[in-house]
Amino acid sequence: MGPRTEPLKAVLFRGCRLMFIPLHDANHLRYIKHQYVTLVIIGLNVLVWAMTSLSGAEAMQATVLGLGYIPSVVHDLAVLPPELELVPPPLTYVTYSFLHADIFHLGGNMLFLWVFGDNVEDALGHLRYLGFYLACTIAGAFFHGLVAPDSQAPLIGASGAVAGVIAAYLILHPRVKLWVLAFARIPLRLPAYIVILLWIGSQFLMFAIDRENQISWSAHIGGIIAGAVLIVLMRRRGVPLFDRPVTLPRAAEVE
């Protein structure tokens, strides 16, 4: 019997997940002392995961159904049993993002948020960054529901919001050097635009070819689009884009 060959989609999927793992960016904060909102979001995600994972399989399943984003429920195509409706369906546009399937799902999202979130928070300010993060969260769920409006599977995870943060970082700091693990093994120091553009390209590629996997690539796409647009509109006055310094015209001199 000859060697087994992985399907092309499986190889691409694994490659997209392990292409680059960010480690450090050495990009100093300019406007804030600490990234308080990013730290609180990470803490909440860890706390919710710990509580749900320790509550038992049945309780965790009920939490996922009650707080996860289910397109068919939100679009009134299906109804949850009353005991599972923990919040009104519209609130699941946000609550889904604080649930994670396992420690690897949680760890991957929080690592990306840790590396990229502080500089985006710096460019926006604490309150606007919180609004930005929640807007990207909603955009991820919205686009997922737009692609699969009759889906009865709950969407969970912070990937949509984190995708928005990554897209915003690209627009703010494309030339900053990142330390990454390429294919989870090789340490490299690369410009952010190389790492992030390859990551974004992989999300669109998988969205185009993979409609059956458990990963919601559409939520990633929604977050990317929202993050790219909102960072331009919401950033602090005077914060440059694409690492370009802001040049202020000199006052006119009259002899």
**Domain assignment present for 3:** no
**Domain assignment present for 239:** no
CA distances from 131 to 42, 55, 134, 156 (A): 16, 30, 5, 19
CA distances from 3 to 11, 13, 54 (A): 15, 20, 41
* Beta partners for residue 177, in sequence order: 191
pLDDT at 57: 85
**Domain assignment present for 96:** yes
**Domain assignment present for 20:** yes
pLDDT at 185: 83
Query: Going by C-beta distance under 8 Å and a sequence separation of 6 or more, which residues neighbour residue 128?
Result: 234, 236
User: How many domains would you assign to the chain?
Assistant: 1
Cα–Cα nearest to 227, from 113, 145, 100, 58 = 113
Collapsing DSSP states into helix, strand and coil, what is residue 186?
Answer: strand
**Domain assignment present for 224:** yes
pLDDT at 213: 67
Reported as a pLDDT band with limits 50, 70 and 90, residue 58 is confident
**Whether the predicted pLDDT of 16 surpasses 60:** no
pLDDT at 18: 56
Q: What whole-number percentage of the chain has pLDDT above 90?
A: 76
Q: Which two tokens stand for residue 167?
A: 């897209």
Collapsing DSSP states into helix, strand and coil, what is residue 61?
Answer: helix
**pTM across the whole model:** 0.88
Query: Going by C-beta distance under 8 Å and a sequence separation of 6 or more, which residues neighbour residue 30?
Result: 122
Q: Report the distance separating Cα 41 and Cα 47, nearest Å.
A: 10
DSSP secondary structure string for all residues of 133-161: HHHHHHHHHHHHHHH-TT--SPB-SSHHH
Torsion of CA 226, 228, 233, 238, to 10 degrees: 150
**Domain assignment present for 251:** no
Q: Report the distance separating Cα 75 and Cα 72, nearest Å.
A: 5
Q: Which of 2-11, 63-72, 196-205, 235-244 has the lowest mean pLDDT?
A: 2-11
Average pLDDT over residues 209-233: 91
Domain span at residue 219 reads 8-234
pLDDT at 244: 76
Per the prediction, the chain carries an average pLDDT of: 88
Collapsing DSSP states into helix, strand and coil, what is residue 201?
Answer: helix
Q: Which two tokens stand for residue 127?
A: 């309150």
**Tokens 């320790």 label which residue?**
54
> Is 213 in contact with 196 (CB distance < 8 Å)?
no
More confident call, 12 vs 80: 80
Q: Which of 24-33, 142-151, 195-204, 212-221 has the lowest mean pLDDT?
A: 212-221
pLDDT at 22: 92
> Is 216 in contact with 153 (CB distance < 8 Å)?
no
Q: What is the CATH number of the domain that holds 177?
A: 1.20.1540.10
**pLDDT tens-digit readout, 148-186:** 999 999 999 999 999 999 999 999 999 999 999 987 788
Beta strands in 41-119 (DSSP E): none
**pLDDT tens-digit readout, 91-148:** 999 999 999 999 999 999 999 999 999 999 999 999 999 999 999 999 999 999 999 9
**Domain assignment present for 125:** yes
Environment class of residue 153 by beta-carbon count within 10 Å: exposed (0-12), middle (13-18) or buried (19+)? middle
Q: What is the maximum alpha-carbon separation in the chain? A: 91
**Domain assignment present for 154:** yes
Cα–Cα nearest to 75, from 61, 101, 93 = 93
